[in-house]
Chains A and B, each alone.
Chain A
């Protein structure tokens, strides 16, 4: 990937998050403004850029992967909340949340891959018996 393309992705990703922040702060309708505070800007831009350069299949894979990442985000949020409640220490809670995000997302992805592999293995013998 060329440096210019990476820079464009950086600017677009950054702008998307900044614009959703501006929308959440500046829109006069509170209900409409509030929802943009949680807009999945990074995911939308990442799927868009991968779709443009690598096609629908890869874009779908990124979107499917971000299901695990988003679930990891929920783990991150809950971890930060609990860590703040128990320790009251701000920085360690933030770091724990980040670890929770990555560990949660990755563990979920691995579990899903293992389940899919097992399902595939179970399906195989049935197909073979049909041919016999």
Chain B
């Protein structure tokens, strides 16, 4: 069953890390300025949650090997995210935040899908 692939601890960890990162980013953006807040908006919540979830799924020896595999894969995603954030920064200024955010997320989907499609079809 598809639901069997989801782990409850994985969901909980992602919820806590994702929620905390948004709250900290918003608070810091208000007090110390948007740029430092933005650093926290890019907190590697998904990557850390994925690593922490692995701890429950694998034994000590497998854990290190699987964590290294995950890190390699995550690097491609991070590179696309850097480009997406740069596009959002530029487009939110020139086109307003609604259009800017929509366009940059659309661009992220297109680039990620193309790269994933190429990788999976190879």
Measured CA separation A42–B20 after assembly (Å): 9
Task: Tally inter-chain residue pairs, CB-CB below 8 A.
Answer: 293
B contact residues around A106 at 8 Å (CB) = 39
Query: Which A residues lie within 8 Å of B109 (CB)?
Result: 35
Tell me, rounded to whole Å, the shortest Cβ–Cβ distance linking A7 to chain B. 9
Inside 8 A of A97's CB, which chain B residues have their CB? 44
**Category for how many chain A residues contact B:** 35 or more
Tell me whether A80 and B39 are in contact (CB under 8 A).
no
Per-residue 0/1 for B88-100: is the Cβ within 8 Å of any A Cβ (1 yes, 0 no)? 1110110011101
| Contact assessment for A10 and B42 in the assembled complex, using a CB-CB cutoff below 8 Å | no
Known: A70-B81, A73-B42. A60 touches B92 (CB 8 A): yes
| With A51-B92, A63-B85 as contacts: A90 and B46 at CB distance below 8 Å | no
Question: Can you add 17 more A-B contacts, CB < 8 Å, to A35-B116, A37-B77?
Answer: A13-B18, A13-B19, A14-B16, A17-B15, A34-B120, A47-B101, A50-B25, A51-B92, A59-B97, A63-B92, A63-B100, A64-B86, A65-B34, A66-B38, A67-B82, A67-B89, A69-B43
**Chain A residues within 8 Å of B, Cβ to Cβ:** 1, 6, 9-18, 20-22, 25-26, 30-32, 34-35, 37-51, 53-74, 76-78, 80-81, 84-85, 88, 90, 93-94, 97-98, 101-102, 105-106, 109
